[in-house]
């Protein structure tokens, strides 16, 4: 955790980092605010409020937070839906959902679940990030061609052919110029002046070559400090609001923690996942209460901050205060920015979000991760993000459980002694030889999940007519409830076939679940043996 001494150590570097990050964040905040349907000033408020509190209370000192593409995709759909149903209350419902999402995100941090968020399998992350990039690109094609942004991907795809045939030359020229600058402005000049800012300035200047009224612009941006938005609820959409809030919380957490990993790699530090989510959630909750759109850790802005010398929370706080100053009284400077220029900036954001390294390797990767990634991509674009992530994680977990079951079967030895190559100790072989083929030994040496039970039962099937079953758990240092349930099922099946079951190596201090399930009582306490040697010396009854 940062101390007062840490805050003072790099004030100059944090100041330059914060200023540079604010310059990069300004056009993006405006663009995301416009794209969301809430308004440019909501983008500035969100960048300032979420950025400030995530920096001060978060767990990644050098991270810059603010509106991002993934979060804006969710807000855009929410805004269109709520405004269509309740024009007077729509924005209040959006801000209330943002507030709830922030509370959920803080709860994830308080419950110390941060480390689990980034355990989402990579093909799933790749699929939904690429899908988000595709959504941003498709929805911004309309404004690039001089038309209003579509409210959904389906509408954007359906309208695109007609929009292409009747595209506005002025908007396409300005949007194309913006895109060209973003792709070509590189190297040393880009370190001095960020490409999005250059694109915004030059594209706006270029609009003076076109007649007045020929281009749609941002228009009036209300100036002033953010005002409190009283939370508003509609019982008929309470479930939908909670689902949208959950999407914001989960996606914001994933987005932020992935950026935290990037910051760790650049600075050689180690972020605190739970504290980061607590700070991000607090920032988003307050953004919702004061009319801002939600944010997350922003990779490009974080990298710019670090390269400019920012290393502590002060850089994120400086960046946020600069944006708040713009929102408070300088909004009039940006009212003439053409929407086509913002569309070009957002399309470049969408292109950058796409996981191109993974896409370029699709033809060389195994079929399953490729199919999983493409499925999540399609669900992200044509269904919703929560469905995409949950379906992807569920399918991946099924396959993982299957593979782990195969590995866990390697911890199981089952033999009646007839196979001289079986992995048996001399005592175990002597024990089986004494029974002359009437006994079978099951030895467990490691963890076994319940999913392995079917495999163990299948191995036992050829021996079901034996008189004795020895189950040796001496070397199984930890026997959890899953292993205990597998053993119970096997023992009950064996006893149903009149097989005498003997349990070897039960230790009450290590095998508490076996004791609690009453397995020793099922086999009979007289059949609980301390070791293979003990079994060898006991009468075979």
436: phi > 0 → left, psi -120 to 50 → alpha, else beta; which? Answer: left
Residue 3 has pLDDT above 60, yes or no: no
Beta-carbon-side half-sphere exposure of residue 171 (alpha carbons within 13 Å): 23
Q: What whole-number distance in Å separates Cα of residue 409 and Cα of residue 341?
A: 59
Ranges of beta strands (E only) in 286-401 are 296-297
pLDDT tens-digit series, residues 163-195: 999 999 999 999 999 999 999 998 888 777 888
The count of residues in the chain is 541
pLDDT of 478 reads 59
As a whole number, mean pLDDT of residues 514-538 equals 82
Distance CA 441, CA 430 (A): 12
Q: CB count, 10 Å around CB of 136?
A: 27
Displacement of CA 187 from its chain's centroid (Å):
32
Asked whether the beta carbons of 48 and 292 are under 8 A apart, the reply is yes
Higher pLDDT, 137 or 330: 137
Angle at 533 between CA 532 and CA 535, to 5 degrees: 65
Cβ pair 56, 315 in contact under 8 A: no
What rounded mean pLDDT belongs to the chain?
88
Q: Which helix (H) or strand (E) holds 469?
A: strand 468-472
* DSSP 8-class letter at 474: T
* Run of H or E residues at 471: strand 468-472
pLDDT digits (tens, 9 = 90+) for 501-521: 998 887 655 567 777 878 888
Alpha helix positions (H), 363-480: 367-382, 385-408, 426-435, 453-460
Predicted local distance difference test score (pLDDT) of residue 541: 60
DSSP 255-276: HHHHHHHHHHHHHT----HHHH
Q: Is the dihedral angle over the CA atoms 374, 379, 381, 384 positive or is it negative?
A: negative
DSSP helix/strand/coil, 355: coil
Distance (Å, rounded) from C-alpha 413 to C-alpha 432? 14
Distance, CA of 349 to CA of 129 (rounded, Å):
12
Question: pLDDT digits over 236-251, tens only?
Answer: 999 999 999 999 999 8
């Amino acid at each position: 955790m940062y101390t007062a001494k840490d805050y003072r150590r790099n004030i100059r570097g944090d100041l330059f980092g914060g200023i540079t990050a604010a310059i990069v964040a300004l056009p993006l905040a405006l663009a995301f605010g416009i794209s969301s349907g809430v308004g440019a000033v909501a983008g500035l408020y969100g960048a300032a409020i979420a950025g400030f509190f995530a920096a001060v209370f978060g767990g990644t000192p050098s991270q810059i937070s603010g509106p991002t593409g993934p979060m804006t995709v969710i807000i855009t759909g929410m805004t269109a839906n709520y405004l269509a149903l309740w024009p007077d209350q729509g924005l209040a419902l959006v801000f209330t959902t943002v507030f709830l999402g922030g509370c959920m995100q803080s709860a994830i941090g308080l419950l110390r679940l941060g480390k689990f968020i980034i355990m989402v399998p990579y093909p799933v992350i790749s699929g939904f990030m690429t899908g988000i990039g595709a959504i941003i690109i498709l929805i911004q094609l309309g404004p690039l061609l001089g038309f209003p942004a579509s409210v959904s991907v389906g509408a954007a795809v359906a309208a695109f052919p007609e929009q292409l045939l009747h595209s506005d030359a002025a908007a396409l020229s300005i949007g194309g110029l913006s895109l060209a600058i973003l792709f070509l402005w590189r190297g040393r000049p880009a370190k001095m002046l960020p490409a999005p800012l250059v694109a915004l300035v030059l594209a706006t200047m270029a609009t003076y070559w076109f007649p007045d009224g020929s281009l749609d612009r941002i228009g009036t941006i209300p100036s002033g400090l953010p005002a409190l938005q009283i939370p508003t609820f509609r019982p008929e959409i309470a479930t939908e609001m909670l689902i949208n809030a959950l999407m914001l919380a989960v996606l914001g957490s994933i987005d932020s923690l992935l950026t935290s990993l990037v910051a760790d790699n650049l600075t050689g530090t180690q972020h605190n996942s739970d504290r980061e989510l607590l700070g991000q959630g607090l920032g988003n909750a307050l953004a919702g209460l004061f009319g801002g759109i939600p944010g997350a850790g922003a990779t490009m802005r974080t990298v710019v901050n670090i390269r400019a010398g920012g290393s502590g929370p002060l850089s994120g706080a400086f960046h946020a205060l600069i944006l708040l100053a713009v929102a408070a009284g300088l909004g009039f400077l940006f009212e003439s920015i053409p929407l086509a220029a913002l569309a070009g900036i957002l399309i470049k954001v969408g292109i950058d979000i796409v996981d191109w390294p993974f896409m370029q390797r699709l033809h060389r990767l195994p079929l399953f991760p490729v199919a999983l990634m493409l499925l999540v991509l399609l669900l992200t674009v044509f269904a919703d993000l929560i469905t995409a992530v949950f379906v992807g994680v569920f399918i991946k977990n099924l396959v993982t459980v299957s593979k782990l079951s195969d590995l866990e079967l390697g911890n199981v030895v089952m033999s009646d002694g007839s196979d001289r190559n079986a992995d048996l100790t001399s005592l175990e072989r002597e024990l089986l030889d004494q029974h002359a083929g009437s006994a079978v030994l099951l030895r467990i040496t490691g963890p076994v999940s319940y999913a392995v039970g079917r495999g163990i039962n299948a191995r036992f099937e050829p021996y079901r007519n034996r008189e004795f079953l020895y189950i040796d758990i001496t070397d199984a240092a930890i026997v959890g409830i899953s292993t205990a349930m597998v053993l119970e099922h096997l023992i009950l099946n064996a006893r149903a076939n009149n097989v005498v079951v003997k349990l070897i190596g039960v230790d009450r201090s290590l095998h508490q679940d076996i004791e609690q399930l009453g397995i020793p009582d099922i086999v009979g306490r007289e059949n609980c043996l301390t070791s293979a040697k003990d079994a060898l010396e006991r009468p075979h009854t």
